[in-house]
A and B are shown apart, each in its own frame.
Chain A
């Protein structure tokens, strides 16, 4: 996203006749004006990334000398059943959280877009979870889902239903974590969708009305196709975020990931390997594989959602 936003517009074809092409140095003021971002990005973005990639081919305990080991870390990775389990957990959590988040967000956005009162209040209310401290929210959710004194089990008990040991069961852990992600990200996506909806020209809806289209037909034939680029944006952002789930499981079920390591996401496994087991090289290899996974999913999303409109 950053690249799209900051790259200078490309000139179309050859320079205009009669105007000689200026040397790159004559634009130094512009480059100087742009440089704070790039300098900060190089120091705090590019360098750590490059350093991590290098680390993936090394063995390092965090303090002693680094030692090149070639592809050994990746060989271990392929044999490492915990790593594959963490990938599986990450993907399941991603699907369990992203699909409801985006669906609910779209429905909410359409509802908020119609003429109702107190629109601003709703918008703020839905957005607040997104700016709540993640750790505080995770502690809160852990309390809500706790077995003996949790809110959910109290509710079930009041209704005469059997209670569950949510954070002690593999599937319960996944439900608890994805519930929290849905809670946190629905509002954000609602606001994005709302902005997209307001950009759709009203003439199209009027024309549809004249043609006798009902609300569902209007939604699927006008709203959704017009929203396609916005949907692409939210899906990509959700993918990048969802594949890096870390704080929620760490706070709610601890570093082991709970029963059957059901909450052990790949980033949590990376964290354990680097900062608890002091195996920084191997952790670098895990980080690189997360990067590749995000890249792969972004490419798939891009293909799926860019659709026919550009062809």
Chain B
């Protein structure tokens, strides 16, 4: 059966023409159209909000007819597709912390919460977290659901056996900087060569960058990923590799999961929610984990927002709903529900957070996470930040594998990052 060249060409031209007209007509349909169903549609991903809190909120606003939907899979992609489609857009939707920066340029798709009275409550939330949802011209498009302050999770038994301090206060005092941690890693390696103190150097690199006040692109849309603050993080990660105190075991891999319980991953530098992963992986090491402050200062990983879309039937009413849903009291309840770490410091004094955790040997982890949450540095995260950061991780993996020297890999990462930036108009 022959497919003639002419029919093929004609067919594809017709299709291209159809696509061109199709997309131009649907392009601006998203903004402006209001939901008229009479319900308040609320979208989030599974585990994004505390279940008891959602149930309580639905009951608390009977007139709003809140319809809560959990959207599984690639949440951001499904949200974007729906917004582009122009119908069925939720009134209120969650947005993940890693996506918020890339959505700020599209702030006109969302309600500026300041225009519906957010000023009265914004002070309840951590300033740096609200900043992440604030555009450069001062619009606030999201109210924080939670945050991800980091800490050093470590195995008390492994540390003690190697002659390292094992009490959280002493660990915090001795491992103040990354240099301290790497030095302790050498000691640990001597005593127990199977337990590298850093699980993975690329994860460590990401944490150090998150501890800084500057990232890859500055507010003037200029590339600064080749400067000292990134280079310092790079050099520390490379030092972990060359001194052989890292285990090339990225978080989430089978080896990492097994190692947590078996003591070959003796520390994890991660956000509060990583505790869930560690607890899920450990059966024999319950009670042997402890939490200490992150070497080099606190950082943040993740933490999401609730936003009101321009399609919301009644933005003011929707704001009342999210204000209630995310109040300090309810944030404390959400923590008890599913370890959703509150973005409101007032919640840190509630009994749900003060409770001693037997998994961590009876430690009240809020004593570490609370101060960390309040001291997280404010850094400007450009919309392109994640895209420009990717080559650094990839290049560090080459250094880990020993196939490239640190200098060659660094040059490669910088030039790739610059190219990705250039494509999107970064100087």
Contacts and interface: CB of A to CB of B under 8 A. Distances in A.
Given A51-B19, A54-B19, A259 B27 contact: no
Contacts of A167: 253
Nearest to A264: B394
A258 B397 CA distance: 6
A272 B105 CA distance: 20
A166 to B, nearest CB: 11
Nearest to B415: A81
B3 interface: yes
B390 A142 contact: no
A279 B401 contact: no
A47 B394 contact: no
A3 B400 contact: no
A82 interface: yes
B102 A150 contact: no
Nearest to B398: A260
Contacts of B276: none
Given A50-B15, A63-B103, A259-B401, A150 B254 contact: yes
Contacts of A272: 390
A46 B423 contact: no
B253 A259 contact: no
A46 B403 contact: no
Contact of B387 (A50, A64, A256, A278): A278
A255 B250 CA distance: 13
- Residue from the set B16, B20, B383 with the largest chain A CB neighbour count within 10 Å: B16
Interface string B223-239: 00000000000000000
Interface in A46-61: 46-47, 49-51, 53-54, 61
A270 B216 CA distance: 22
A282 B423 contact: yes
Given A62-B80, A170-B403, A258-B397, A47 B18 contact: yes
Contact of A149 (B1, B83, B250, B254): B254
B327 interface: no
A82 B416 contact: yes
- Residue from the set A51, A64, A278 with the largest chain B CB neighbour count within 10 Å: A278
Given A3-B3, A165-B248, A260-B398, A64 B106 contact: yes
Contacts of A63: 30, 80, 83-84, 103, 106, 109
B27 A47 contact: no
Contact of A260 (B28, B77, B404): B404
B207 interface: no
B255 A146 contact: yes
Given A50-B16, A61-B105, A76-B423, 19 more contacts: A3-B1, A4-B1, A42-B15, A53-B12, A53-B16, A62-B84, A64-B106, A66-B27, A146-B254, A148-B258, A149-B259, A165-B401, A168-B248, A168-B400, A256-B397, A257-B394, A258-B397, A260-B397, A261-B398
13 contacts: A47-B19, A64-B105, A65-B28, A142-B254, A146-B253, A147-B249, A150-B255, A256-B397, A261-B398, A275-B74, A278-B383, A278-B387, A282-B423
B275 interface: no
A80 B145 CA distance: 39
A232 interface: no
- Residue from the set B18, B19, B23 with the largest chain A CB neighbour count within 10 Å: B19
B316 interface: no
A292 interface: no
B15 A49 contact: yes
Contacts of A51: 19, 22-23
Interface in B186-238: none
Given A46-B15, A257-B394, A65 B27 contact: yes
B197 to A, nearest CB: 16
Contact of A148 (B11, B27, B255, B423): B255
Interface string B290-314: 0000000000000000000000000
A82 B412 CA distance: 10
A149 B258 contact: yes
B424 interface: yes
A143 interface: yes
Contact of A256 (B16, B28, B390, B420): B390
A26 B144 CA distance: 64
Contacts of A146: 253-255
Lowest 9 CB-CB distances: which A-B pairs, in order? A277-B387, A50-B15, A259-B401, A50-B19, A51-B19, A143-B254, A256-B394, A149-B258, A146-B254
B23 A54 contact: yes
Given A54-B23, A170-B403, A256 B1 contact: no
Interface string B23-46: 100011010000000000000000
B393 interface: yes
B210 to A, nearest CB: 18
A148 B74 CA distance: 31
Contact of A254 (B105, B248, B250): B250
Interface string A139-153: 100110011111000
B405 interface: no
Contact of A261 (B16, B394, B423): B394
Interface in B95-145: 102-103, 105-106, 109
Contact of B416 (A49, A62, A81, A165): A81
B364 interface: no
A276 interface: yes
Contacts of B15: 42, 46-47, 49-50
A47 B16 CA distance: 8
Nearest to B77: A275
Contacts of B397: 168, 256, 258-261
- Residue from the set A10, A54, A272, A279 with the largest chain B CB neighbour count within 10 Å: A54
Contacts of B401: 165, 168-170, 259-260
B384 interface: yes
Contacts of A54: 16, 19-20, 23
